Structure 1
Amino acid sequence: MTSNSDSNKKTPDEIPSAATTETNNAKDTSADLENSAADAEPAYIPYSAETAKSKPNWLWVLPLLLVTLLIGLFAGRMWGEKQPEDNELTTERSVTPQMGTATGVTEVEKEVSQKPVLTVETVTPTQSSVTKDLTADGTISPETTSTVSGKVNGVAIDRVLVREGDQVKKGQVLAIFDTDAMQQQLIQAKAELAEAESSYELAKRDADRVLPLLEINAISQQEADRYVATANQASASVAASRARLNNQNLNMQNAKVTAPVSGVISEKSANVGSVPGPEPLFTIIEEGKLEWQAQVDPNKVGEINVGTPVEVSLPNNKSVMGKVSRISPTAEDGSRQITIYASLARNPNARAGMYQRGTFKLGSDAKSTIPVSAVVTQDGYDYVMQVKAVKNENRETIYRVSRVKVKLGERQGDRVVLLEPIPGEANIVRQGGSFLSDGDVVTIADTNTPAKAE
């Protein structure tokens, strides 16, 4: 009995393990399935317990993995949204490599350890007296003009003594007509007058001689009246001849064209040899005075009054000052604009006919301004670089810049109006902001230092 028992016993090496048995069974099953698949038509593997054991089913794991992945992504998103912004930047941020990177090493970025990228000066907005202006476009025109025409007809111009732009005085000779024909007419008029006066003297003596004879009835009344009528006709002829002579003298005077007022010759149509018609020979700007005629929106006319100062721009970066002299009571047809007239000071650079831009000086207001150099323009918007003091991980104060969008108004020299206040502490970089990025650490180089972070 003992021998049989011992003979039936097997050593551990001879006893096959369960895993080995299962593996062998799986191999046998796979071989059978392959043989069956080769013989069967169509290929079909009947389900059996042995088949289920021989082929592990991992499909039930996929939904579980998918659900786990979605839960992880959602939890990570919610965690990221709940994290507050750390203004003092005192924590370390782990940067996980994206899929596809060559290494799996985690990169750690310490923002608090950033070194200053630039040394800057800071300024704060200040209240400045800002001039309140209203700009408009208009034409420079003569304030008052006088036209000069010839007073003789049918006579050619002999000499022209002035040109456009010349300064003239009242009574100054501007042009002279040809007087040769006038001289002959004057001589003839004088001769006719002398003849008429002689005839009159003779007729008068005859009448004076016969009138006493009428008293003694030596002649008839009819004959005496004839002598008196002859004398009267001779007197009338003298008056007519004298009038013609005066007219010729006047023509001689009018042969000289003179300036009726003092001013500047703005137009000239007189030319030597021409026989002028009724059109003016010269146009004179009285006293050389010019005015600026501007078209202004009716909604803004209420801000302008007679006497409001005006500055009109001129070529070569020059300008001329003036004052509003009158305001048109009606709007222009078509444009519906109101014409404002401003008298200008005399300036050699101002010319009639110029179309120039002018500015109505409406007073001044106190407004917040910043240096133009502090403005950084990017993508069509204006920004300033605001400097704030924060604590690093060692509780040390550092200065960090943030880009702040601003709304600007008119420019006043090297400063510009700030239409809306800058939120928070208004310490901004004076210049060089274009070299900085949002979040950069800087060093302050002046005494206008932002308050230290607590």
Structure 2
Amino acid sequence: AALAWVSAATPSPAGDAAPAKQKAMLTVTSLTPQPSEWPVALAANGGIFAWQEAVIGSELSGLRLAEVGVNVGDCVHAGQVLARFDAATVAADVEQKDAALEEARSALGEAQSTVERARPLSANGLVSAQQMTQYLTAERSAKARVASAQATLKSARVRLAQTEVRAPDDGVISSRSATLGSVAPQGQELFKLIRKNRLEWRAEVPGGDLRLVKPGQAVTLTVAGGVALSGKVRMVGPTLDPATRNALVYVDLPPSTDAQAGLFARGQFEIGRSPALTVAQSAVVMRDGYGYVFRIVAGDRVSQTKVTLGRRIGDRIEVLDGVDAHSVLVDQGAGFLADGDVVQVAQPPAQSAQPAQLAQLSPGKR
């Protein structure tokens, strides 16, 4: 019985040992938010249009189109012949008007000779004043007929020149309705020309953001296929659309084979720079529509912290609140953790260089 009492009164070695340390759930890497200066951009959408599209039409009527020298997509120069009408009847009319001018000039020469011969006779009283007046009137009438014939001939030559349809400016043919052999009425459209091959992006910007856009600002566009283009703001539209409350901002684009009129493009206006506290996107976990990070506290335990997110550039994201520059956050492995988990922190990899892209201005943070 004494042995049993001693055995019961002696404490167990296992009862004196400290509680075992909780095993780490995951090995993770850590990071600290990085303060930096990020460019700010205003995002917008819009279409690409021709800067100016000239309509080239027929100036004559009743003539057959005898030749068409260009097609859609052809680059042309100012004064280049695009099409020709059959000029036979117009050329014959020019010859007729030229002959009429020669006839009028001959009549003028005869009237002038008559006046020259009559002047000395009139001075000697051999020709009456009435007769001399008739000679002078005939001379003036002959001069008027010459002037009229010259004007008529000039008009006929203009018509002859109009049988050749010429480009009014350098550019690219964007549309062709001219058909060989057709008889086009006066004023009918034959071609459309994008002047200077110059395009513009017409961005739709909310009225509340127009104060951020100024002529001369740089713009980066992305068109179909992910092709990036650059441009500059030429003009801000003076009025808003009453239905959408958006204004058009006109952005000049450089000549490029990557952009065509009619394409849709997304763009960003560079409106300045601002400080940003950024982390790698791998450190942010999205749950129920909100962003969270895991702060490492008490050495090896994590605390789930809700954060407000801002701009994104490459693989980094701006954190607006919830952490500061001294916080230690879980980087790789954050998606597998829960609040209060114990982790083992491994040596973090070297920080990558900050990307030099534009940060998009999030709605409500402007």
> TM-score if structure 1 supplies the norm length?
0.65
State yes or no: 1:446 paired with 2:347. Answer: yes
Distance 1:371 1:431 in 2: 9
Percent of paired sites with the same residue: 34
Secondary structure at 1:403 match in 2 = strand
**Residue of structure 1 equivalent to 2:309:** 408
State yes or no: 1:381 paired with 2:290. Answer: yes
State yes or no: 1:318 paired with 2:227. Answer: yes
Decide whether aligned partners of structure 1 residues 171 and 423 sit closer, same or farther in structure 2, where only a CA change above 3 A counts.
closer
Decide whether aligned partners of structure 1 residues 299 and 334 sit closer, same or farther in structure 2, where only a CA change above 3 A counts.
same
Q: Show CA shifts across 1:237-281 (max 9, x none).
A: 333223222222222222222222223333444333241432554
Secondary structure at 1:194 match in 2 = helix
Decide whether aligned partners of structure 1 residues 288 and 319 sit closer, same or farther in structure 2, where only a CA change above 3 A counts.
same
**Residue of structure 2 equivalent to 1:364:** 273
State yes or no: 1:417 paired with 2:325. Answer: no
Distance 1:381 1:111 in 2: 37
**Residue of structure 2 equivalent to 1:259:** 167
Partner amino acid, structure 1, of 2:173: I
State yes or no: 1:307 paired with 2:208. Answer: no
Partner amino acid, structure 1, of 2:97: A
Map 1:144-183 to 2 at 5 A.
144-183=52-91
Secondary structure at 2:208 match in 1 = coil
> Which structure has the larger Rg?
1
- Worse overlay, 289-298 or 140-149: 140-149
Contact 2:60 2:186 in 1 (8 A): no
Contact 2:309 2:317 in 1 (8 A): yes
Contact 1:156 1:276 in 2 (8 A): no
Distance 1:407 1:188 in 2: 86
Number of equivalenced pairs: 332
Secondary structure at 1:299 match in 2 = helix
Partner amino acid, structure 2, of 1:359: Q
Shift of 1:157: 2.8
Contact 2:79 2:169 in 1 (8 A): yes
Contact 2:305 2:322 in 1 (8 A): no
Higher relative contact order (CA 8 A, sep 6+): 2
**Residue of structure 2 equivalent to 1:42:** none
Decide whether aligned partners of structure 1 residues 125 and 146 sit closer, same or farther in structure 2, where only a CA change above 3 A counts.
same
Please give the root-mean-square deviation of Cα atoms over the aligned residues, in Å: 3.0
Distance 1:236 1:372 in 2: 89
State yes or no: 1:197 paired with 2:110. Answer: no
Of 326, 329, 333 in structure 1, the residue corresponding to residue 238 of structure 2 is 329
Decide whether aligned partners of structure 1 residues 367 and 244 sit closer, same or farther in structure 2, where only a CA change above 3 A counts.
same
Contact 2:33 2:324 in 1 (8 A): no
Shift of 1:189: 1.6
Mind listing any 5+ residue stretches in structure 1 that lack a counterpart? 1-91, 93-109, 391-398, 449-454
Secondary structure at 1:236 match in 2 = helix
Which has a greater percent of helix? 1
Distance 2:132 2:317 in 1: 105
Partner amino acid, structure 1, of 2:206: D
Secondary structure at 2:317 match in 1 = strand
Distance 2:87 2:94 in 1: 10
Q: Show CA shifts across 1:62-90 (max 9, x none).
A: xxxxxxxxxxxxxxxxxxxxxxxxxxxxx
State yes or no: 1:127 paired with 2:35. Answer: yes
Shift of 1:318: 1.4
Shift of 1:218: 4.7
Partner amino acid, structure 2, of 1:188: Q
Secondary structure at 1:271 match in 2 = coil
- Worse overlay, 131-140 or 145-154: 145-154
Shift of 1:125: 1.1
Decide whether aligned partners of structure 1 residues 423 and 324 sit closer, same or farther in structure 2, where only a CA change above 3 A counts.
closer
Q: Show CA shifts across 1:201-250 (max 9, x none).
A: 34444454455544555554444544444444334333322322222222
Decide whether aligned partners of structure 1 residues 369 and 111 sit closer, same or farther in structure 2, where only a CA change above 3 A counts.
farther
Shift of 1:308: 1.9
